[in-house]
C-alpha cells in the first residue's frame, strides 16, 4: 500500500518534501489513491476535522511515508532529541504507554488505529515526549516534520495557519479532558478521605 503513497518516491528518491518545488509536490500526490486516503484520514474525527479535503491533500504532500515494524517503539517517553515531527497512522495499531510515578512498568494509556495523530505536541513545542508509542502490528504512516511545516508556512501561509489552529484545538480539547479527569479524581479523593474520617475519627486529644 505505502509504496505508491507519493509519486515522488519514484522520481525523487531520497528527496525530503521540504526540498521539493511546489509543482513537484503537487505531482507527488496527483492521482495517488493512497495520498487521497491519507488526506481523508487527516480530516477524520480522530485527527483534524477543521481542514477541508483540499487543504488536507496539500498537507499530505508535505509528509513523508514511513513503515514501522511490529514491536518497534518509535517514540520514547522522555526523549528530547527526536521530537520534531508528528505521525498520521494509515494502517496498523499503536500502543501508547506511560510510566507513572508509582510504577516501574509501563501502563497502557490507549491503543490507536488508522486516522490517529501521534506526537503533535512535540511538533508544536519540541519538548520531551510525554509517552512511549509501540507498533503492535506492522504500521504504515506518514510523518510531518517541523522543517516541512516551516516550508508549508512559507509556501501556503493560509493552509499552514489553519493546520496549526486545528492542531492547537486538538491539544486544547485534550487538556480540557485531562482537567475534567483531575477534577473527578480530586472529588473521589475527598470523598474517600471523608469516609475514612467517618470510620476512623481522630481522637480529641490529637485534634
Q: Which whole number is the average pLDDT over 79-86?
A: 89
**What three-state secondary structure class fits 166?**
helix
Backbone phi and psi for residue 11, each to the nearest 5 degrees, phi listed first: -100, -25
pLDDT score of 8: 46
Q: Which CATH architecture has domain 2-187?
A: Sandwich (2.60)
The DSSP code sequence of 126-140 is: ----SSEEEESS-EE
User: Can you tell me the distance from the alpha carbon of 126 to that of 141, in angstroms, rounded to the nearest whole number?
Assistant: 20
pLDDT digits 0-9 by tens, 156-186: 999 999 999 999 888 888 777 777 877 887 8
Residue 101 has pLDDT above 60, yes or no: no
pLDDT digits 0-9 by tens, 63-81: 999 999 999 999 999 898 8
Domain boundaries, the chain: 2-187
Amino acid at each position: 500500500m505505502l509504496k505508491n503513497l507519493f509519486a515522488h518516491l519514484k522520481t525523487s528518491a531520497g528527496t525530503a518534501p521540504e526540498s521539493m518545488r511546489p509543482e513537484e509536490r503537487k505531482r507527488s500526490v496527483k492521482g495517488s489513491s493512497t495520498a487521497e486516503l491519507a488526506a481523508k484520514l487527516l480530516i477524520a474525527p480522530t485527527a483534524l476535522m477543521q481542514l477541508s479535503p483540499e487543504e488536507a491533500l496539500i498537507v499530505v504532500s508535505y509528509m513523508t511515508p514511513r513503515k514501522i515494524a511490529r514491536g518497534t517503539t518509535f517514540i520514547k517517553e522522555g526523549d528530547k532529541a527526536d521530537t520534531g515531527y508528528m505521525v498520521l497512522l494509515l494502517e496498523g495499531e499503536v500502543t501508547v504507554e506511560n510510566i507513572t510515578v508509582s510504577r516501574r512498568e509501563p501502563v497502557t494509556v490507549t491503543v490507536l488505529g488508522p486516522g490517529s495523530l501521534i506526537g503533535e505536541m512535540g511538533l508544536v513545542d519540541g519538548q520531551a515526549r510525554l509517552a512511549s508509542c509501540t507498533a503492535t502490528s506492522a504500521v504504515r504512516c506518514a510523518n510531518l516534520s517541523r522543517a516541512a511545516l516551516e516550508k508549508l508556512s512559507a509556501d501556503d501561509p493560509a493552509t499552514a495557519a489553519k493546520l496549526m489552529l486545528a492542531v492547537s484545538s486538538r491539544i486544547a480539547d485534550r487538556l480540557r479532558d485531562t482537567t475534567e479527569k483531575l477534577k473527578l479524581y480530586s472529588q473521589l479523593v475527598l470523598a474517600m478521605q471523608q469516609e475514612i474520617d467517618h470510620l476512623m475519627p481522630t481522637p480529641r486529644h490529637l485534634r
